[in-house]
Structure 1
């Protein structure tokens, strides 16, 4: 208790417990408050969410080719704490892994049968199929990972090269100086902590639904609050076991296992599925994604009165932004010993390419199945999005073996993510975290993990997955302004890294990084 930062720790805990109690006591009132706030934000600032995604993408690509890309995190003598495949595996499976498992087959069904009315696309048509897959590419590849990479870069540089405290407030030091510390900096940490816990609760909700949907499919168990509770408890137990082994053992080992499972599943579906169809649809959809990138990214629907962007693209950007500051703390922390250019390759480019392939294979396969008689869309509408992947996989050879493997991958994805994020959450809310002593106490990690699961189960049971998602979406609003400030700080640093870097010997006399 003596190490707790009260301004960072108590406000998000109190707010989350209040949300849980309100959702339990008065579901309708809770839903109205959260929905009204969510609608106000998206109506008035949806354009900025969309524009921010483009800005972050441009900055990340620009940094890769800039002289700043040669700067080494931790100085020229720093040795990486992870091998490149280990690093990539952790980045992939602690980011949006549970999302690609859950939504790859479910999301295209929504776009296929109900594309945006203002675009005049006929439902279930070839044009709708291309729109569905190209939209999946937009939502799950380069833009989301750019949103994650901005705070990762600035935190890694500020923490290791500028030797500033383990805090999100520290990322604003190039702009605010000493004002980024103290009460103001802790207030920023508290807001981001609330946003992440709400976002993690939503992610855990989708994870619980994915695993429960699989158990329901395999064993005929009804997917209800009781099953959700048992799955939730199992995740907590597995997370605690992983946490006890230490971050660099638990997360590292689980991430590599999960990455190989992902690769194996993708290869299997590609080989035994409609391979030629997937390749052709992927090529057409990727061309649509590239040629209409700006149009799709900046689509607000305000002129035509189309609500589609608010329910999908804007909503996703808000959700990624809610996660990004604290995700950046974790990903930045494990980037020690690598150049900024390597960081961008591993945290932005490679997982985006993996997302493209995954969405092309699973999304393209699901679209083929739907258009050729498998009623995936009907299952999504009647049973929920968690039903999509199991109905999809049930039509493939060896389904009785593949489905349990898929369930196991979903389970591991959330355990891995929870271990990584609770480490960051515990570090933010306690004192004494440094590169020499990077881990918070085990009790603090367990506290945040248990709180996450309690919040997720209660709100999933009483407010529904949409209620949790809208709550997490609210966290993306302040995070958007914070990340825009981070982006500005990166530009300041990139223009003259020697001015900010503690390792002056790594630069030439005119301030250029030594390659």
Structure 2
């Protein structure tokens, strides 16, 4: 059994990412300030010189998903029979919880405060109250989800229709590159995908982990420190490693638990915070504002660089979603057997947008209501910047039974962390194999290896106490090569799907 596994493993794609990340960690720890400066400089260059590319890519991918859904390609059944493997509700819950980590809670509580100090937002008609939520819904809206959905469709077609035994990015571009994917170019594509995913997971853990740590220290009187964050991270890693080893049934159960906890948190804030009317009013206004201004927001590049809002935020978010595209679309594809492509596209949009909208409309509007209507004194923290955790805790403290809310927040964040990393650990394990047939799962030891690998970089970034800007820079840098690969996958899908239909 052991010898058989050794022969199945692609050792280059398994060990090279681990060695590279370890070297990167050593450099970060030995030269923290120089590393930070380099990250900032590369991010600035990409934002200034290629912002137009990210903007066009996002808008183009979104339009492409709609074209696919309502064309002949949308009628393709992913499998031999049009009988879905999971019910619509269970499928939708798994999509949302496998793609949305605990960072959605962090950003739903704090993102409006990040935008509130931007002159670009302050000077718009409607000001902070309207435009902070509008941009949150935009950055977590249709264009963001389109990155996941376009790849999920391509991968689902590759797995369930073409029944490929190599579930990797490289295999998805075979219709375009042919036998080249079996050599250097294929290995390069897969390595870029793995590195991007590690960057994405590191960013997610490092950005939102301090909120979880602060909530725990507040409720249980613990000393909030990087050490506490590390302990929490290791506990979460243990939870998702165990569930990955148990398989898809465990992941499905955790997805259901997470949705329940997530909804309980939102209901508690909505009903218990005394801001239900403002949440509804401003939510409707922001959604309407987004619909009215969508085209302009989707194509705005700030050519004169008067605010750099697009470079600092929109480009970051498109990059952030791109680095996560290396795993989550595979998971969506794997659970979509028996559905039509149109069903996958429209269903994923429906569940994804519903979940993100509920989070931001409820949590962001509660904070905005306390700030704008009740005069909650957090202006100094907003101006100060990098005090987002303090702001989130202060806002939550205004709720009745706030310790109960914090406990619910802790359970929800831990559950969402565990669920999303179960799914990506399962998916990235396929990259370690030379080939793996449909329905066959990676060996438990390989899954455990990747579960541990994902922890290394975020541990380092937490100890380095990097700013949010620095953490975001990691995702932006790794997203650039992934964006090229995404385009290759889309072209390959159209070429292969057209051949299939003919």
Residue equivalent to 2:93:
89
> What CA deviation, in whole Å up to 9, does each residue of 1:361-396 have, x standing for no partner?
111111111112223454464663233433222212
- Structural mapping, 1:366-515, within 5 Å: 366-371=367-372, 372-376=374-378, 378-379=380-381, 381=384, 384-437=387-440, 439-462=441-464, 464-466=466-468, 467-495=470-498, 497-499=500-502
Report the TM-score when normalising by structure 1. 0.90
Report what 1:253 is aligned to.
253
**Are positions 1:80 and 2:60 aligned together?**
no
Say which SS state the counterpart of residue 482 (structure 1) adopts: helix
Which one is further off, 137-146 or 237-246? 237-246
Is 1:263 the counterpart of 2:266 in the alignment?
A: no
In the alignment, structure 1 residue 66 sits paired with structure 2 residue 89: no
C-alpha change, 1:383 and 1:194, in structure 2 (3 Å) is: closer
* Structure 2 match to 1:294: 295
- Offset at residue 435 of structure 1 (A): 1.1
CA deviations over 1:424-483 (Å, ceiling 9, x no partner): 11111223422131x212122222221221221112211515333322221110111111
Q: Match of 2:3?
A: none
Which residue in 2 is equivalent to 1:278?
279
- Aligned-partner SS, 1:195: helix
Residues 262-311 of structure 1: CA deviation (Å, up to 9, x unaligned): 22222232233312212221222122211211222222223144222221
Taking the aligned partners of 1:383 and 1:340, their CA distance within structure 2 comes to 42
Match of 1:36 in 2: 41
Distance of 1:386 and 1:2 partners within structure 2: 48
How far apart in 2 are the matches of 1:458 and 1:27?
10
Indicate the SS of the match to 2:109.
coil
What is the match of residue 16 of structure 1?
21
| 1:319 Cα deviation after fit | 1.1
Query: Residue by residue, what CA displacement relative to the aligned partner does 1:62-86 show, whole Å, maximum 9, x if unpaired?
Result: 2222222221111226x43322222
Q: Distance in 2 between matches of 1:161 and 1:290?
A: 36
Distance 1:100 1:68, change over 3 A: same
Instruction: Identify the range of structure 1 (386-395 vs 415-424) with the bigger mean alpha-carbon deviation.
Output: 386-395
Q: TM-score, normalised by structure 2?
A: 0.92
Separation in 2, partners of 1:434, 1:386: 45
CA distance in 1, matches of 2:299, 2:20: 33
**Aligned equivalent of 2:333:** 332
The equivalent of 1:320 in structure 2 is: 321
The alpha-carbon deviation at position 120 of structure 1 amounts to 6.5
In structure 2, what is the Cα distance between the partners aligned to 1:387 and 1:332? 39
Q: Secondary structure at the match of 1:435?
A: coil
Counterparts of 2:475 and 2:20 in 1: how far apart (Å)?
12
Map Cα deviations across residues 74-130 of structure 1 (whole Å, 9 max, x no partner): 1226x43322222111110111242221101201012123242xx7617xx842211
Please give the root-mean-square deviation of Cα atoms over the aligned residues, in Å. 2.1
CA distance 1:377–1:194, change in 2 (3 Å): farther
Deviations 1:7-30 (A, max 9, x none): 422332222112110110010111
The C-alpha deviation readout for 1:230-258, integer Å capped at 9, x for no partner, is 11111121122212221x12211111111
Cα shift readout 1:28-61 (whole Å, capped 9, x = no counterpart): 1111222222221111111111111111111112
- Quote the residue 1:152 is aligned against: 152
Paired residue for 1:45? 50
Distance 2:127 2:306 in 1: 22
Equivalent residues of 1:168, 1:329 under 8 A apart: no
Structure 2 unpaired stretches of 5+: 1-5
- Partner of 1:510 in structure 2? none
Deviation at 1:409, TM superposition (A): 0.5
